[in-house]
Amino acid sequence: MRLTAVSKVLDEADIIEAFVRHTAAFVSHQIILDNGSCDGTVEILKHLRDEGLHLTLLQNHCRQFNEKKLNTVLYHLAVQLGAPDWVLFLDADEFIDDREAVRGGGGLAALLEGQPAEVLCVHVLLSHYQASIWDNLNEPIIPVRLSWRQERRAVEKAMVRGNLAARNVDILPGNHGAEVDGQPCPYRVEPAVTLAHYAERSPFQAIVKFIRGWSKVLAAGESEVRIGTSNHYREPFQKLRDRPQDMLRSPWLHRFSQPTDGLIHDPIAYRGTSLRFTPTLDEPMRAVRCLVRTIETVSQQHGRLLEECPEARVLATQWSEDIQIL
């Protein structure tokens, strides 16, 4: 059973090494597309590749959401490079957790191998882990440090058979499913495997995630806003824009070191080896660097658009001359 994992990453230096080492225990090949990291993520990935992990590294500098296209391109690349039986779509903060499948006498690979031929796609649920007062802040391995999770919600991520490349297959935004020949891909939800999700690891990392996430939606245009896949970024972005005190001077900021009321203690089994290349990070300074880099890249791409598309320059000039009386 040959499995390939594909991922898109951006500024994940605090978690990327643990993610790659953990995922390598389940798959034979990982394809990682970096979206223009500036915090050392790419350097860590190169070290891991040089160490001998089977990694294919790609990079672009995308500052807008174009997920369906990029996900589908990565699917076809995975099939071309390794002819996998299944392709797994994982974000860098999503760690495979197959403890229930192992207790049932198998594991992720056995579960996928046992799927009926008509099941072209397997969906697994996310388990959202949260920082707490009990976290050992000196522990560099995020899924070891964060061991308290929320109740599971109906958020599903897709694992897709690798034999669909000859058909019209599309991987949906957010990796939440697939379409084949323009129709929803037949799938089965497998509760014995989940993805442990470590989306918010520090307040500074979370703030960058909110600001950059919704700005990428806006940069993609109104059609992406209407799709709604990334609407979870909208509210915190708007709070930070209009009333930052509602977050930065509120219980939200302090919940990264709060008691665990309402949470479930459920540490996953980290399957990776120890970390060798993850530096000690100054989180506030990393946040500033990442946001400045985002502004710089968006501005550069805007300037390039004006240089290469005269119609865009005309339109931008019209916008700049639109003066309103307040």
Q: Note the pLDDT tens digit of each residue in 86-117.
A: 999 999 999 999 999 999 989 999 999 999 99
Q: Which domain holds residue 111?
A: 3-316
User: Quick check: is 51 in a domain?
Assistant: yes
Number of domains in the chain: 1
Tens digit of each residue's pLDDT (9 = 90 or more) over 214-252: 998 888 888 767 766 678 899 999 999 999 999 888 887
How far apart, in whole angstroms, are the C-alpha atoms of residue 271 and residue 318?
56
Please write the tens of the pLDDT for every residue from 24-57.
999 999 999 999 999 999 999 999 999 999 999 9
Terminal-residue alpha carbon distance, the chain = 65
User: 32: helix, coil or strand?
Assistant: strand
Q: How many CB atoms lie within 10 A of CB 23?
A: 23
Give the pLDDT score at 34.
96
Note the pLDDT of residue 245: 94
- Provide Rg for the chain, Cα atoms: 21
20 found inside a domain: yes
Structure tokens at 314: 């005309």
Which residue, chain included where needed, has tokens 């004006």? 306
In a domain, 155, yes or no: yes
b/e burial code for range 198-237 (CB count within 10 A of at least 16 → b): bebbbbbbbbbbbbbbbbbbbbbeeebeebeebebbbebb
The answer to whether residue 132 sits within a structural domain is yes
Residues ≥6 apart with Cβ < 8 Å to 244: none
Question: 216 in a domain, yes or no?
Answer: yes
Q: Is residue 323 part of a domain?
A: no
Decide which of 42 and 134 is more confident. Answer: 42
pTM for this entry: 0.94
H helix count then E strand count, the chain: 13, 13
Rounded to whole angstroms, the Cα distance separating 236 from 246 reads 9
- Judge whether 324 lies within some domain: no
Q: Has residue 240 been placed in a domain?
A: yes
Say which residue, 62 or 263, is predicted with more confidence. 263
Q: Which pLDDT score, from 0 to 100, does residue 5 have? A: 98
What share of the chain in percent tops pLDDT 70? 98
Can you give the pLDDT at residue 292? 95
